[in-house]
Amino acid sequence: MRTFFLTGTLLCAGFAVLLMAEVKTDYDHAANFGNYHTYSWIKADAGDSLWVDRIKSAVDQQLTAKGWTQAGGGGDVGVAAWGSRKNQQTLNTFYDGLGGGWFWRGFGGEGMATTTVENTPVGTLTVDLFDNNTKKLLWRGTATNTLSSKPEKNDEKLNKAVADLFKKFPPESKSY
């Protein structure tokens, strides 16, 4: 299994926060990827038809760049992709007291704590490639933490994540 990390910066309330998108791939080490040249879509799901089209377009672009051709149906490989999105909550607590410094009940006087909740969108994209004859999984790529809090940046982040998924695709066949 290969793991790659992407980094980006998100400005949030005047503070720069480092976001990391993690990309993992795994594949059938016995498969000869040189035997596969065409693909067809089995299914793509993201809970939103706009995102389905974006995901398919990004995957199509990467497979085409690798010399594969999309077949209307019955390609050598079947492609399935699904994306999910959720909000991850982060609690930020700031302490304040008279004269500055840390205060706790009975230690150093009265203090005040303010806690804010920050929602950060978290996205996960999984792309599977199956041998259409045997129905056996050949390759899986997963990218997590691929969304930004700015919707206009999400297309760019999706395209970068998919490009990184397919960076070392197809894997070299190993002879045993």
pLDDT tens digits along 108-158: 555 566 777 765 556 789 999 999 999 999 999 999 876 666 777 888 889
Where residue 11 falls among pLDDT bands split at 50, 70, 90? very low
The two tokens of residue 19 are 């976001």
Q: Is 34 exposed, middle or buried (0-12, 13-18, 19+ CB in 10 A)?
A: exposed
CB contact at 8 A, 92 and 118: yes
**Does the pLDDT of residue 40 top 70, yes or no?**
yes
Q: Please provide the average confidence, as pLDDT, over all residues in the chain.
A: 77
What's 2-88+120-165's CATH class?
Answer: alpha beta
pLDDT at 122: 61
> Which residue has better confidence, 59 or 176?
59
Band of residue 96 on the pLDDT scale cut at 50, 70, 90: low
Contact 91, 117 (CB under 8 A): yes
Q: What pLDDT does residue 112 have?
A: 66
Q: Cα–Cα distance between 175 and 18 in angstroms, integer?
A: 41
Count the alpha carbons within 13 Å of 111 in the hemisphere toward its beta carbon: 17
Greatest mean pLDDT among 21-30, 89-98, 108-117 lies in 21-30
What would the mean pLDDT of 33-53 be, rounded to a whole number?
92
